[in-house]
């Protein structure tokens, strides 16, 4: 039986984790969940929001499904998410954004996968206060990180039957940093003759995404553009309740929804488990369980098509009702 770390999070985390684990179990797939607590609730007992045992569990199991955890504001703790990415070198942020049945959006037939570089760019945190009136943030782009993220995007495209990979930069202005990213894309692209390639500037991409999002397939971007564009794409398909994600590295992968711990609806059996369920479906594909992934995805789509959904999507179902409806459709 496959052992997978389950970080059930806090806030709405435990509610949506239970729903998702129940749905996977009902599909017939046996998973040995190694349940690990993290976040605000464990600080009191263990002193830190991400104890070493959680990292060790992921190192051992290689794969984790993670519900959201609260980052306490102003208490000097590093975000659990940032720490996970750093400690496990999860260099690729993967955000598949696809329309769901009955989820009202401005556009139909959106099916975009955003691949964001997760480790450098302006997020490397290298900042200087030059004097009282001037500050600088340094944008770091390296050949090593750019090559591996571009390779990740092409490998993802091949593995998932996608047609095109499009690189997004501002290489006309930042000729050295974004220029290097673009050069790496071209070098990597040469090894994938069956995948179409495209190059676009970030400003042009943003305009086209809000006019014709159907024209895009897999996007690969440096960290800052990737952060912004992945949220834009999440908005295209219906927002937080349905936006899935994953952080993936050479050795480990952590699958998690984009949304936070939603303390405003915690404990009310109201939370939408769809984003975590979609993250779990992507995880099943990643570990090669394609048929279970497809089966659960189909049951989710049929449930939504039947007009069954939680309040954030305009429905009346509780978290449990929604999960039970998916189970009935399996």
Residue ranges binding ligand NAI (CB under 6 A): 12, 68-71, 81, 240-241, 256, 259-265, 271-272, 275, 312
Shortest distance, position 136 Cβ to ligand NAI, whole Å: 27
Which of residues 256 and 289 has its CB atom nearest to ligand NAI in the complex?
256
Shortest distance, position 300 Cβ to ligand NAI, whole Å: 14
Shortest distance, position 317 Cβ to ligand NAI, whole Å: 12
The SS3 of residue 112 is: strand
Best CA proximity match to 281, nearest among 318, 312, 303, 255:
255
CA distance 47 to 37: 13
The two structure tokens encoding residue 74: 């102003």
Contact predicate 273/323, CB 8 Å: yes
Which of residues 183 and 321 has its CB atom nearest to ligand NAI in the complex?
321
**260 CB neighbour count, 10 Å cutoff:** 16
CA distance 208 to 199: 13
Which of residues 39 and 202 has its CB atom nearest to ligand NAI in the complex?
39
Q: What are phi and psi of 297, to 5 degrees?
A: -60, -45
Which of residues 120 and 312 has its CB atom nearest to ligand NAI in the complex?
312
Which of residues 255 and 292 has its CB atom nearest to ligand NAI in the complex?
255
Shortest distance, position 140 Cβ to ligand NAI, whole Å: 24
Shortest distance, position 72 Cβ to ligand NAI, whole Å: 7
Shortest distance, position 58 Cβ to ligand NAI, whole Å: 15
Best CA proximity match to 185, nearest among 217, 153, 157:
153
- DSSP assignment of 194-213 equals TSEEEEEEHHHHHHHHTT-G
Which of residues 41 and 183 has its CB atom nearest to ligand NAI in the complex?
41
Pairing relation of β-strands 244-248 and 92-98?
antiparallel
Which of residues 282 and 312 has its CB atom nearest to ligand NAI in the complex?
312
Contact predicate 234/95, CB 8 Å: yes
CA distance 118 to 95: 12
Shortest distance, position 304 Cβ to ligand NAI, whole Å: 14
**64 CB neighbour count, 10 Å cutoff:** 25
């Amino acid at each position: 039986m496959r052992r997978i770390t389950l970080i059930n999070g806090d806030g709405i985390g435990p509610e949506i984790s239970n729903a998702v684990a129940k749905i996977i179990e009902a599909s017939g797939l046996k998973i040995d969940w190694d349940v690990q607590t993290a976040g605000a609730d464990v600080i009191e007992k263990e002193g830190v929001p991400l104890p070493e045992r959680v990292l060790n569990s992921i190192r051992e199991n290689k794969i984790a499904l993670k519900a959201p955890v609260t980052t306490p504001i102003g208490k000097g703790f590093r975000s659990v998410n940032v720490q996970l990415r750093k400690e496990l070198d999860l260099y690729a942020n993967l955000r598949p954004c696809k329309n769901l049945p009955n989820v009202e959006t401005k556009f139909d037939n959106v099916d975009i996968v955003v691949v964001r570089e997760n480790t450098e760019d302006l997020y490397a945190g290298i900042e200087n206060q030059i004097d009282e009136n001037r500050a600088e943030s340094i944008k770091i782009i390296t050949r090593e990180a750019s090559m591996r993220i571009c390779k990740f995007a092409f490998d993802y495209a091949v593995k998932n039957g996608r047609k095109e990979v499009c690189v997004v930069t501002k290489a006309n202005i930042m000729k050295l940093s974004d220029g290097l990213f673009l050069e790496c894309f071209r070098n990597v692209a040469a090894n994938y003759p069956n995948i179409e390639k495209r190059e676009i500037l970030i400003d042009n991409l943003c305009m086209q995404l809000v006019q014709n999002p159907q024209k895009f397939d897999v996007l690969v971007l440096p960290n800052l553009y990737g952060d912004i564009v992945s949220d834009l794409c999440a908005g295209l398909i219906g927002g937080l309740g349905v936006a899935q994600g994953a952080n993936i590295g050479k050795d480990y992968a952590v699958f998690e929804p984009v949304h936070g711990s939603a303390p405003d609806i915690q404990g009310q059996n109201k939370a939408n488990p769809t984003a975590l369920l979609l993250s779990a479906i992507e995880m099943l594909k990643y570990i090669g369980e394609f048929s279970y992934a497809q089966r659960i995805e189909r049951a989710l789509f049929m449930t939504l098509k039947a007009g069954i959904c939680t309040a954030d999507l305009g429905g009346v179902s509780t978290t449990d009702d929604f999960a039970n409806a998916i189970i009935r459709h399996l």
